[in-house]
Structure 1
Amino acid sequence: MVIINNIPVGKTGYGLLGFTWRPHQTPDEQAFAAMKKAIEKGALCWNSGEFYGTPDPTLGLQLLHRYFKKHPEDATKVVLSIKGSVDISTLKPLGSPADVRKSVENTLRILDGVKKVDIFQCARVDPKTPVEETVGALAECVKEGKIGGIGLSEVGAATIRRAHAVHPIAAVEVEYSLWATEIRTNGVAGVCAELGIPIVAYSPLGKGFLTGEIKSPDDLPKNDFRRHFSRFQPENFKVNIELVNKVGGLAKKKGCTPAQLAMEWVRYQSGRDGMPDLLPIPGATAAERVEENCQEVGLTEEEYMELEGIVGSTQVLGGRYFEAAESLLFA
């Protein structure tokens, strides 16, 4: 059980990114069914963003507004984490106190009281603004009752310490999966464990790559945002697919899906061997995928070590994003 801001949220969370960055918007009927299934399966930490949406950058928040307006009984069941403070046109971070407050107010305006913002975090660290000023502004919003707590996203170990010294940090959100293990060697996992801060592991399925359902770059829709990412480029894809094939082989032997095995690998490490509590937040647009991702298939120590062997011996080529975005990771 993972605790965020003194609230038990289970062992799996739910990322709403999948609803808002796909080529076509998911119909409410399908989206709502997936959200209901998440609650049913105990995936109670939901993660979205002020800037999520295609083509309207507020579609993520509008979806949440429509859901909780229709299902007000679910509002208190979910811990809602929202990322914001981003220039929509350039996706550059905006961390000044004025920008942070503006983002919080806009989020609250769109949600219109149907759901409390339990955690608010800037999507990236603004290199032009000291993190102490950014967190200080959010601390004022906590004091005023506008948000319940403060999170951080894609930050380095030193930044976590500086931010936590200003106000307790409820959670650190960072990519963590079988093909993104940097937090184990760059100090992020260590400092979070030391300070008692849980890590919300986004993209635990490698942006869908680790499910095994993407056999080639051509399987991605022409306007899919992943086509811009380094690891999905043809020259890298043909190398990276080896990791997927090895995980798929172990999953077949275990009698589960590759996605379930990848999720279990994250959950298995939660609170063990110097790691902080870990909460994977896969994205899904269909109830059956939510159910699959939340199904705990368990790992033996032998299976875990086999996966660790795969991670340690298999090459992963390319950065996690496109080049311009890489400089903002672990800032």
Structure 2
Amino acid sequence: MKTRKLGRQGLEVSIMGLGCMGMSDFYAGRDETESIATINLALDRGVTFLDTADMYGVGANENLVGRVVRDRREWVIVATKFGIVRGPNGDARGINGRPDYVRQACDASLRRTGLDIIDLYYQHRVDPDVPIEETVGAMGDLVAAGKVRYLGLSEAAPDTIRRAHAVHPITALQTEYSLWTRDPEDAILPTVRELGIGFVPYSPLGRGFLTGQIRTPDDLADDDTRRNHPRFQGEAFQRNLDLVREIGTMAADKGCTPAQLALAWVLAQGEDIVPIPGTKRRTYLEENLGAIDVKLDAADLARIDAVLPPGAASGMRYPTATMASVNR
């Protein structure tokens, strides 16, 4: 397994990580036995970077990841997040970046995972009511206390990233990035590269849309959260499906799957980028890892860019209310 460095503080991880969210929340078809087998296969294949959060399954996902990795703790990098608050039944209760909450959330994550230290600790969303300096200051205290190794932010705007990094070195920024979400190219990627911060794209497969496996909205279960996303609704769905068909054509010419082409494109955007495609099934894990061997030359990248330039996707990436919490 190839590796890449995130940030300038010494963190090195596999070139591709595994997003574990769907194993416990938001998507239908969850099977804990298969999820555990998927994580173990990822580790067997050399994936060293696992991504979870305290809000995924209201703590259940941290517990799941922790149970699997404890026997291989010496080389597995576990990233988790705090800040999106949910009640015991999963109800949304806002965003919290207060220093006292940062400390409480970290201790709770350590208990759920059963780990003695969190490798990479992200603020999941920026709290507009708490200065970022206060939140990151509390996160830095966790590093000093030996509870956290490296710090990260998620969906933070360039100015917020700069202010945070001035308080304590930020190792990684996690933000949505894929062939149909190229917004970070405008200001976020230049900012993190200037500061020496690694970039971790989540949803690099467009929440599964770029795989070509979703052909109608009816392919999504009734309780699948993607049904609420504008890109999966109405005319936007059909226009996005047309783009995916173009991806399928290019993938066939390269002798790979659409998912592998989409991931290979993300990997080709820079040596400081480590995508974390999420899956809860071994079959899709194997397919995703195959993208590492797909090589895209300048002509391939130009062809892809002609079909999916920035802004090509139809619809916002989140519902309106959720969009208010990103890039701030």
The number of residue pairs the alignment matches comes to 317
Change (3 A) 1:131 1:182: same
2:302 counterpart of 1:305: yes
Question: Which aligned pairs between 1:12-161 and structure 2 lie closer than 5 A?
Answer: 12-21=16-25, 22-28=27-33, 30-53=34-57, 57-69=58-70, 72=71, 74-88=72-86, 89-113=91-115, 116-161=117-162
2:31 partner amino acid: T
Contact 1:2 1:198 survives alignment (8 Å): no
**Cα deviation per residue 1:98-118 (whole Å; 9 max; x = unaligned)?**
1111111110111223x6310
| Equivalent position to 2:276, from 268, 274, 281 | 281
1:303 partner amino acid: D
* CA positional deviation for 1:314: 7.5
Root-mean-square deviation (CA), in Å? Answer: 1.5
Query: In the alignment, which residue of structure 2 is the partner of 1:318?
Result: 315
* CA positional deviation for 1:24: 4.3
* CA positional deviation for 1:32: 2.0
Query: In the alignment, which residue of structure 2 is the partner of 1:224?
Result: 224
* Unmatched segments (≥5 aa) in structure 1: 272-276
Q: TM-score, normalised to structure 1's length?
A: 0.92
CA distance in 2, matches of 1:199, 1:146: 23
| Equivalent position to 2:4, from 2, 5, 18 | 2
Query: In the alignment, which residue of structure 2 is the partner of 1:165?
Result: 166
* CA positional deviation for 1:124: 0.3
Q: TM-score, normalised to structure 2's length?
A: 0.93
CA distance in 1, matches of 2:46, 2:316: 32
Equivalent position SS for 1:306: helix
CA distance in 2, matches of 1:10, 1:67: 18
* CA positional deviation for 1:16: 0.4
Equivalent position SS for 1:77: coil
Contact 1:12 1:43 survives alignment (8 Å): yes
1:109 partner amino acid: R
Contact 1:84 1:121 survives alignment (8 Å): yes
1:111 partner amino acid: T
CA distance in 2, matches of 1:328, 1:27: 30
CA distance in 1, matches of 2:146, 2:311: 47
- Same amino acid, percent of matched pairs: 36
CA distance in 2, matches of 1:42, 1:221: 32
Query: In the alignment, which residue of structure 2 is the partner of 1:234?
Result: 234
